[in-house]
Amino acid sequence: MGSSLTCAGVVWALLSFLCAAASCVGFFMPYWLLGSQMGKPVSFGTFRRCSYPVRDEVHQATVMLEQCGRYASFQGIPSLEWRICTVVTGVGCGLLLLVSLTALMGCCVSDLISRTIGRVAGGIQFVGALLIGSGCALYPLGWDSEEVRQTCSNRSNQFVLGSCEIGWAFYCTGAGAAAAMMLCTWMACFAGKRQKQYPY
């Protein structure tokens, strides 16, 4: 088994995997926006939420259920912007993951990644990172939804946090995308070895 990657290509493969992992973990975790409601900590992702109000029929009162879960349906996501953000960021994470796994395979399989394929992979990474960045930029547009306003002391609005704060998962997703866009796409140009010219 030989590698189809140069030394820079091996670094590119590992860095691509780390960037993809950071973006995917951040995307899946419901800690993009942090606040509190009824004295309990509440957090939101693009398609998941932790702690939500439920009606307690025994005591005839509304209580906070401290559990994390995704919304029951795609339409259940609080705002249109968050729905778009979920799709765009999910596709971007998928592209980064696809390229990173292919790059890791290139470490073990000869003739898998040529110079041209490396450049194409870098282009795909650029598009994936751009999609994730677009999703992160869209996310604050959904801060004016009723669910978010209840959590942020009714003071939140588009690009206005109110009493809430941005969580680590948002930064993790964005940082993975930024590193993929600035470093991985550049390193991909030097990742593949020149293919041998066969006489037949």
Of residues 27, 47, 43, 25, the one with CA closest to residue 35? 43
Of residues 175, 158, 173, the one with CA closest to residue 78? 158
Would 48 be classed as within a structural domain?
no
pLDDT computed for residue 37 by the predictor: 92
Count Cβ atoms within 10 A of the Cβ of residue 61 and give its class: 0-12 exposed, 13-18 middle, 19 or more buried: exposed
Residue 155 or residue 2, greater confidence: 155
Mean pLDDT value across residues 182-189 = 93
Would 95 be classed as within a structural domain?
yes
Here the CATH number for the domain that contains residue 183 is 1.20.140
Would 69 be classed as within a structural domain?
no
Question: Domain of 125?
Answer: 7-33+77-189
Number of structural domains in the chain: 1
pLDDT computed for residue 63 by the predictor: 85
Task: State the Cα angle at 68 between 176 and 129, rounded to 5°.
Answer: 15
Count of CB atoms within 10 A of residue 110's CB?
Answer: 13
pLDDT computed for residue 49 by the predictor: 95
pLDDT tens digit sequence for 104-159: 998 888 778 888 899 999 999 999 999 999 999 999 999 999 999 999 999 999 99
Residue 198 has pLDDT above 70, yes or no: no
Would 170 be classed as within a structural domain?
yes
Which of these ranges, 19-23, 62-66, 138-142, 184-188, has the smallest mean pLDDT? 62-66
Residue 22 has pLDDT above 90, yes or no: yes
pLDDT computed for residue 67 by the predictor: 92
End-to-end CA distance of the chain: 23
Count of CB atoms within 10 A of residue 38's CB?
Answer: 12
Would 197 be classed as within a structural domain?
no
